[in-house]
Amino acid sequence: MKFQDYPYERPVLQEEQTKFKQLLNTFTEADSLNEATDAIKAINTFRNRLSTLFNLVYIRASIDTRDEYYQAERDYFDEIEPEIKAMNTEFYKELIKSPYRVELEVQFGSQLFQIADFEIKSFSPEIIHLLQKENKLSSEYSKLVASAEVEFQGKTYTLAQLAPFAQSEERNIRKQAVTASAGFFASHTDKFDSIYDQLVKTRHEIAVKLGYNNFVEVGYLRMLRIDYNSEMVKVFRKQVRESIVPLATKLYEKQAARIGVDSLKFYDENFKFKSGNAKPKGSPEWIIENGKKMYQELSEETNEFFQFMLDRNLLDLEAKKGKEAGGYCTFIEDYEAPFIFANFNGTSGDVDVLTHEAGHAFQAYSSRNIGVPEYIFPTSESAEIHSMSMEFFTWPWMELFFQEDADKYKYSHLADALQFLPYGVAVDEFQHLIYENPEWTPAQRKEAWKKLEEIYLPHRDYDGNAYLDSGAYWQRQGHIYEVPFYYIDYTLAQICAFQFWKKSLEDYKHAWEDYLNLCKLGGSKPFLGLVEAANLRSPFEEGSVETVVETIESWLESVDDAAL
């Protein structure tokens, strides 16, 4: 059955609540462990069906934001999602006080009970109306970004379609493209400010109603950060400041010399080599064909997985009008099917998506029979290990896509991954500041972002662009609006992915075995438990960042980048 044939029918909330009550009663009244186990399985089947319907709506609405039917269904789910959350929380409350808890923990693993605990702490029926408001505002943001139709050189482009011009060999075209893209945000900056202001105040109100000082605590609960806390994250950010910012700055200086500019401006950052950036040498269809060959050769497991995706049309990759920005992978439970969404635009990012989102999808495919909905994907920082590591495990096949420019791609891919880290922790620190100071005005938020740029991105020069100089760059970062605190995850996972990269250069076979084992574990352990199971060092461990950086620096130094 192909994705377009997966049926969708709007669930009727009251009917679903009645069904759920019956299922929960069966669980609470179970007279034996077997009965309790069967009841949990029935509840999971019920939850999977609702989640499937939500995912079908989410995917189809993001593929075409102009599709009125699916936009209406998305609005409906924005309304009922907190009610569904209420049902989940009821289940979790009964689960943790079950008389069979000890045996159930042996059967399903303790991570399920820890997740249940965190979910209970971050929800109360009292906040349902606020969650509905939060969902609505979040959807408003993504629709606003998707609505962008930017005039450039006599044509109209979406933001994703405009991006390749920011990599042009002609500096004035790069500047015009970046100015046009920033222009869209500048012309809607009041709207972006207003949406975020409402989100911050709504989230603060949620936190206060739940009995917390501010939303930071709720953010960590929602992200299911079970085995680390904000103090550990603070120490990690310090490691990035001290070990990575100086090296990233040095790499930007090398880039300026390499592309022949006196001082690197913001619109130069995406232009890596004087002879032009590495680009895939063919159409989206050609990229997919080569992707198929790559996954065929990488392993039996990846071959089976990628064929599964192709046979069922589980990829929507090309940028088009009305399509939401960005890329993601989700999982459609009733069909045990991962789905990859992207915006191909002819840059090396197309191949990054094919490896990154496929890393998520491969992991979900590997743990699809795990039997616990909470374990299909792990928590976010663990999930990003799979995606970022897959980017490196596929390095031996980059000639397929970039041909003579494969070395160029590898150099900029590794350098970019490292240079991303300071930005990633800046986004995290920004969100801590925002939710610790919910009374801030939009102007104070922008001022805070400017200060963080000075600390983490000291090289950055917006060349007098008033909007970007005002400290508003963060408005283009969807996570800040849609999934608060989901960002440090990328940086923690990147440190783990760098370790897989290093291992794959030394012993590819064993590195891949560790990776495969990690994928099969799904979300059955918290972050540090999975890191240990994959034979990796914790990013929080003193010196782990430094060690990884040394290896990367010496690899980058060994390449004559000026000759690329």
* Domain spanning 223-278+402-564: CATH 3.40.190.10: no
Rounded to an integer, the average pLDDT of 545-564 is 94
CA distance 548 to 133: 43
Phi, psi of 228, rounded to the nearest 5 degrees: -155, 165
Mean per-residue pLDDT over the chain, rounded: 97
Rounded to an integer, the average pLDDT of 408-433 is 98
Phi, psi of 102, rounded to the nearest 5 degrees: -55, -50
For residue 338, the cross-strand partners are 331
What residues contact 35, with CB distance under 8 A and at least 6 apart?
Answer: 26
What residues contact 219, with CB distance under 8 A and at least 6 apart?
Answer: 203, 431, 435, 484, 485
pLDDT in tens, 215-239: 999 999 999 999 999 999 999 999 9
* pLDDT for residue 487: 97
What residues contact 548, with CB distance under 8 A and at least 6 apart?
Answer: 495, 498, 499, 502
* pLDDT for residue 152: 96
The CA distances from residue 305 to 360, 367, 368, in Å, are 12, 12, 11
What residues contact 132, with CB distance under 8 A and at least 6 apart?
Answer: 78, 79, 81, 82
* pLDDT for residue 251: 97
How many CB atoms within 10 Å of residue 124?
14
What confidence category does residue 326 fall into, taking pLDDT thresholds of 50, 70 and 90? confident
CA distance 165 to 182: 13
Quick check: 392 and 418 in contact, CB under 8 A?
no
What confidence category does residue 21 fall into, taking pLDDT thresholds of 50, 70 and 90? very high
The encoded tokens of residue 242 equal: 């001290």
What confidence category does residue 459 fall into, taking pLDDT thresholds of 50, 70 and 90? very high
Rounded to an integer, the average pLDDT of 275-292 is 96
DSSP-based three-state secondary structure for 379: coil
* pLDDT for residue 542: 86
Quick check: 206 and 134 in contact, CB under 8 A?
yes
pLDDT in tens, 65-92: 999 999 999 999 999 999 999 999 999 9
Phi, psi of 342, rounded to the nearest 5 degrees: -155, 175
pLDDT in tens, 163-178: 999 999 999 999 999 9
Rounded to an integer, the average pLDDT of 514-524 is 98
Angle (nearest 5°) at CA 302 between 301 and 308: 95
pLDDT in tens, 438-449: 999 999 999 999
In the chain, % of residues over pLDDT 70: 100
Which residues in 538-552 are b (16+ Cβ under 10 Å) and which e? bbbeeebbeebbeeb
Nearest to 225 by CA among 378, 103, 442, 81: 378
The CA distances from residue 482 to 200, 339, 424, 450, in Å, are 11, 20, 16, 22
CA distance 451 to 471: 9
In the chain, % of residues over pLDDT 90: 98
pLDDT in tens, 241-257: 999 999 999 999 999 99
CA distance 172 to 180: 12
DSSP-based three-state secondary structure for 332: strand
Quick check: 347 and 162 in contact, CB under 8 A?
no
pLDDT in tens, 291-312: 999 999 999 999 999 999 999 9
Nearest to 458 by CA among 235, 245, 238, 239: 245
pLDDT in tens, 334-393: 999 999 999 999 999 999 999 999 999 999 999 999 999 999 999 999 999 999 999 999
The encoded tokens of residue 471 equal: 């400290």
Phi, psi of 341, rounded to the nearest 5 degrees: -120, 135
Residue 369 DSSP code: T
CA distance 311 to 1: 9
* pLDDT for residue 536: 98
Greater pLDDT, 53 or 543 = 53
Nearest 10 degrees: CA dihedral of 189, 195, 200, 202? Answer: 160
The encoded tokens of residue 333 equal: 């439970």
Q: Are strands 337-344 and 315-318 parallel, antiparallel or unpaired?
A: parallel
pTM of the model: 0.94
